[in-house]
Amino acid sequence: MIQTFQVRTSTQTEFIDITHSVQEAVEKTGVEEGICVIFIPHTTAAVTINENADPSVVQDIVMELNKMVPFKDQYHHMEGNSPAHIKASLVGCSEMVIVESGKLVLGTWQGIFFCEFDGPRNRKVHVKVISNDR
């Protein structure tokens, strides 16, 4: 079964720590051992795993993505959100995390981030937990 939760973003480009929400979705399944897949069903948003202890890391990632893919350029897409599509493709729409003893197996400083590139918006996050018992 797929668990889905909402994320409300407040700025054009934003990383939101969703680790707790993903862990809650895992717990709802009752799966003790397996794989958790986090999927973002949007073309201008993404998901990544990175440091969640120091917020300056996320600020640096956003800063460098904005340098690599500037907001203004000679884009052809008529909606004006080509940079968001490009950033979402670079970062990716899914992540997989091991589940052990009903908990996400993440490194000490790791967190799961929803990456908004075309906000503010209401977004969805899908979580699928696959049990090793199958």
Domain locations in the chain as residue ranges: 2-131
Residue 98, pLDDT above cutoff 90:
yes
Place of tokens 């993440």: 106
Q: What confidence tens digit (pLDDT) does each residue in 35-81 have? A: 999 999 999 999 999 999 999 999 999 999 999 999 888 999 988 89
Peptide linkage before 70 cis (omega within 30 of 0):
no
Q: How far apart are CA 17 and CA 20, in angstroms?
A: 8
How far does Cα 28 stand from its chain's mean position?
Answer: 20
In this structure, which topology does domain 2-131 adopt according to CATH? Jelly Rolls (2.60.120)
